[in-house]
Structure 1
Amino acid sequence: MSNYVGRHRPQTRAERRALEGRRRLPKALTAGYALPTAAAATLVLSAGGATAAQSSALTSGINGTQLAAFGAPQAKAQTALTDPALAQRSKTEVAETVATYSDLAERRQESNLSVAESQGRQQERQRIARDKKRKAIAAKKREQAKKAAAEDMGVSPDSVKVGADGKATIAEGTWVLPLANPVLTSGFGPRWGRLHAGDDFGVAVGTPLRSMSNGVVVFAGQQSGYGTMVDIKYSDGTISRYGHMSAIHVSVGQQVSTGQTVGLSGNTGRSTGPHLHLEIHPGGGAPVPPQAWLAGKGLHY
């Protein structure tokens, strides 16, 4: 093909390609693909797991004439790849960057741990405060139950114990009145030509009647004049008798505790109206005035 280009004839496509072919470099070796800085070159080498020496070996097949033909940008790129000082400086910069990020990560982790510990301490304080509040409320409820039970049974609050279930119990050996807030309607003494051997308390039918202390039931049933009746023998040998009851909740031989309900008041037997007839027989003997005897136990009505 002739290299002559006529004055008025433009080059053909084939001629242009022939001319460009003599000047064209492999695309991978053009300036656009050469690494612009030594630091970037080292980063690429580090990421690929290679060394500067290996990079030099890769480019050893390119002679000086070819490098000159590539131009200044290619020569600079080759220098960047093979210069140990630049490679070392780039590695140093990368190491410093990694160290900076590691330091930031450590400080962030320490900050997170500090926040977590602070939150944990705050939650622990809140838990302690809640527990303290619950205990205070529970203690207040126990005191209220204790006071109510003491007033109901006519005893000192020191004689009342309240369990975890909120149930009030009376200390062993304590004595209580047979019913709450008793109203005396007829006392111990002569009546209609014979002895009225106990005290009567006016009370509605169905009112709970309780054991005055720890003891055992020695009678539970019907008896002339008393109607439905229960006798309880206490630890000191004293027997209490409840007459005119409407219902019995215990049986003979049953152990009862202080304040335990043994039956309900009524109007059975020889009675002129609903009431509880209470008799006290110390040592199981003759009856005595209940009011004076109970006063000796600290009980008053």
Structure 2
Amino acid sequence: MAESNFVDYVRIHCKSGNGGSGSAHMRREKFVAFGGPDGGDGGRGGHIILEGNEQMWTLLHLKFRKHIKAGNGDPGGKQRSSGADGEDIVLDVPLGTIARDVETGEFLFEITKHGERKILVAGGRGGLGNDHFKSATNQAPRYAQPGEDGIEGWKTLELKVLADVGLVGFPSSGKSTLLSVVSAAKPKIAEYHFTTLVPNLGIVGHREKHSFIMADIPGIIEGAHEGKGLGLRFLRHIERNSMLLFMVPADSEDHLKEYNILLNELEKYNPELLDKQRYLGISKADMLDDELMEEISTELGDIPHLFFSSVTGKNIQQLKDKIWEILNS
């Protein structure tokens, strides 16, 4: 996915439709001098609706569509005929999209399933016709209820990437390289920090025709929970992963310290992230001999880990086996 095409946050102005007014019509027929009220109800104003679409990965299509307006309901008619409802506006969004109100910051809902529909802004109710207001003491009401106005306001949509495995590590820890080796994804790879500026997703094939989705999350640095580096913008994507694969490169000066910094950043951002299943991969293991690997293992103590190399393919299958085991535990 091109970086310029990945949009995970948009702000849109929404205006739902006004409800149609009820009718105050009185029945008029030949040979019926004083027919009673027969005014119909007004139609409902159009809703603005979000619908989950599993084929979408970005909110790009809404980036330049800032104002969204639904149709108004039609007024009621004679013979108790109701007005037509206003046209609904249905916006397709990727799974993992969260809707919030801009003014209050209130969380509204989240779209997590394909085809799931939720109303972002409800249309105004149609007014009742005069037929509803007749009574024993008022048999010919000549009034009806006006329709409700639609709702207008700014909403934010933010996307949290849905994936089975999230790759967590400092910049240049080998996350993009691993994703490119185990899947058909083609993330940008280079020997400098912040090569990855957007989350990249790849489908990883496993034994016996199984598969899982892996997400390469842009690199974390110390202080990311305070907005440093790429900061909070991408930490939220980690919240939607079933498990986290921490990655520390073999050439790190202090593997345990780097691992603990990553844990600390996640905890400060959202302590619940530490409840997720996690595993540690020591990448670029082609740089290590057996003696160095043993030394690093001693340093890591009882932290479950595996040495692997995306360049040589060392232990790549074992890593996929371990991920599959954790996902299905």
TM-score of the pair, normalised by structure 1: 0.21
Greater relative CO (CA pairs within 8 A, separation 6+) = 2
Q: When you count helix as a share of all residues, which structure comes out higher?
A: 1
Scaled by the length of structure 2, the TM-score of the pair is: 0.20
Computing the radius of gyration from Cα coordinates, the structure with the larger value is 1
